[in-house]
Structures are given as structure tokens and as C-alpha cells.
Amino acid sequence: MIVLEAGNDLGAFTAGLEKLAEHCVVGTRVVVLGRSNDVMLFRTLLRYGVSDYVPTLDNARPIVEAIARLLEDPNLAKLGRVIASIGAGGGAGSSIVAHNVAWCLAETFADDVALIDLDFAFGSADLDFNEEAPQSVAAAIEQRDRIDDQLLEQFYARRGDHLCLFTAPAGLDTDADLDPAAFDGLMNVIRRAMPFVVIDLPNRWAGWTRHILKSADEIIVTARPTLASLRNTKSLGEVLNAGRVADAPVRLVLNGIGGYGKSEIPAKDFEAAVAMKNAVRIGYDTSLFGDAGTKGQVVAEASKNHKISAQFRALAIAVSGRQVLEKAASRNTLGFMRLFKRG
């Protein structure tokens, strides 16, 4: 890494940069310090291949931070990607979607996935997977300050090699109001330990659900193809997308298509009305979902070759932030595992 200080003569300085470039190996990073706080100068320097420009206005802190940023090991700093799932109405299928996506992430990437059921009173992750964590997620939040990577194991049930289930107390003893700061404390531990965190939110609009949604890397809204769901999806999309300037917009799962008779709104009209493109459209299929539930499995596990399982897999890949060469997946799972890239 080379740190340079720019003088007042920009022409002479950029000419000097060109000469310097002839002597630099690929990967050399150059930080320029200068007096001007001019964005045009910053852009000009970036065009010359400079990694960062730091105005030396009144203290050394920005310089230290710029250098630390460049020296940072991206793998060391990596925190788990957070995917939050919420329904645009009660019983829309948002838990089923969250559970299938979590299962598909674990299967596809063979990396640890935390599934956190935050529906304290009525959560269903334990039933859907027929597994219960030794201690509930409510207990984990309560004890967040003493939990380290090793203690964390006491708060989840492993399903298969990579899916870690943080199940809800599923009783009425625990108050369902969550302190966002307390939850963040637990999340800091989980995100350092696991590359993916899927949060199954109850159908509630409260300060803490809003906080979790706002800080998620990905948001999945599951809606029924009905008028009430349409109105709620539109409201959720408007509020949540407004804060997602650099992140992917809210993703829509239109669930139960074909199951609502005359009150059903056609998928394309629904999607146009809520201004959400590329919705995942899942058909209404009580026997498929019912049979999986009876086995204590999610659909993607119980009926691997079903079209709906492929849709859940595609959604999991979309929210993963990783790239996958799909062709290889159909030929050979092992080959496929080697072909994904971390985002």
C-alpha cells in the first residue's frame, strides 16, 4: 500500500500518478491525502486507479480508517446475511416460506443457516421440522450477554448438517414484545457464527418488527391473492422499500394461487397493483403442504422434485446474495457445490 499527499497542483500530481503506476504491481493500493474536500477531485483520482482519497481536514482519524478499510480481511469481517420473512396478513404462509427458504439455503450452500422463530406464542418452526431447541429463542435473547459461540449450541436444534433451529417458546408465558436492542445483542453472536440468518416474523407491525425488517439484507413478504392482502402488501412495500436504497427491494411471494375462488385476484393484476416484479407464485395445494407437515418436514425436503420445491430453491438462491451456476446443479450436486461464489 502506498500513501501519498497531494499538493495544490492537480495536473502535476496526476502526471506523477501515471509515472508511479508504471512501477506498481497489480493489487497495489494507493491512498491519497489532500486538503481539498472536492468530490470532483475524488472522482478524478478514482479514475487514475487510486483506492481512496482522504481529505486531511482537522484530524488523523479518517486517514486511519481509510487504511484500516483497505487492510481489512473481507472474510474475517463477514457477518451472516439476514433474510426476514413476514406475512401481509395472518396465515398467509410466511412461516412456511421462511422454513422452506432456510432449508433450501442449508441444502444448496452446505453452510450453517440459523432459522429464528420470533412468533413467541404461536411459532411453528418446531412443528414444521419436528425438532425443538433445548432452550427457546426467548431464553437466548434473555441470556444474550453471556452467550459465546460455544454456548450458542444450547439454544438451537440442528436439523441435518447445516440448519440450526432457534424455536419459539410456543406458549403464552413469554411476553411477545421484544426489545430491539436485546435482539440485536443475540444477532451479533449468531451472525458471527452463521453465514445465513432467516427470521420468521409474526404478522405484527410493531417497533421491534419494523426494526428487524429495516435492518435485514433481504425481506420476503408473503401474501394471499386477495384484496386485503393486496392492500397490506402495497403498504408494506411502500414503507419498507423507501428505506432500501442500496438493498434489493422487498420480494413478494404470492401464495395459495387457485385457492380463493371468486375473491381471488389474478397474479399479474396483484403484482401490477403493488408494483412488485418477479413475484414467486405458489399454487394452493393442501395435500402437498399437509403431507409434508404430517411428516415433520418442509415441502422442499418432503417432495424434492415438486415444482413448488424448485420455486423455494430459486427464492433461496435469489436471497442468498451468492451466484450459482444452475446448469451444474441439475447435473451433479457436488460439482454444483464447488461452483457457487460467496457474495
Ligand X SMILES: Nc1ncnc2c1ncn2[C@@H]1O[C@H](COP(=O)(O)OP(=O)(O)OP(=O)(O)O)[C@@H](O)[C@H]1O
Please report, as ranges, the residues that interact with Mg ion according to CB under 5 A. Answer: 95
Which one of residues 154, 263, 286, 332 is an interface residue with ligand X (CB under 6 A)? 286
Nearest partner of 330 among 313, 315, 312, 308, judged by Cα: 313
Which one of residues 80, 169, 202, 237 is an interface residue with ligand X (CB under 6 A)? 202
Residue in this structure with the C-alpha cell 482537522, named with its chain if needed: 58
CA dihedral 86, 91, 92, 97 (to 10 degrees): 60
Binding of residue 83 to ligand X (CB under 6 A): no
Nearest distance in Å: CB 78, ligand X: 30
Cell for 289? 403442504
Binding of residue 130 to ligand X (CB under 6 A): no
Q: What does the alpha-carbon distance between residue 166 and residue 163 come to, in Å, rounded to a whole number?
A: 10
Q: From residue 209, how far is each of 166, 198, 199, 201, 272 by CA, in Å?
A: 17, 14, 10, 7, 26
Nearest distance in Å: CB 100, Mg ion: 13
In which order are the strands placed within the sheet that holds 30-34?
2-5, 30-34, 52-55
Nearer to ligand X, 204 or 234 (CB): 204
| Partner that binds at residue 53, options ligand X, Mg ion, none, CB closer than 5 to 8 Å by kind | none
Q: Which residues contact 60 (CB under 8 A, 6 or more apart)?
A: none
Nearest distance in Å: CB 256, ligand X: 5
Nearer to ligand X, 34 or 256 (CB): 256
Which one of residues 15, 18, 70, 90 is an interface residue with ligand X (CB under 6 A)? 90
Binding of residue 225 to ligand X (CB under 6 A): no
Nearest distance in Å: CB 259, ligand X: 6
| Partner that binds at residue 286, options Mg ion, ligand X, none, CB closer than 5 to 8 Å by kind | ligand X
Residues 291-310 that bind ligand X (CB under 6 A): 293
At CA 78, angle to CA 76 and CA 84, rounded to 5?
Answer: 160
Cell for 292? 409434508
Residues at the interface with ligand X (CB under 6 A): 87, 90-96, 119, 122, 124, 202-203, 255-256, 282, 284-286, 289, 293
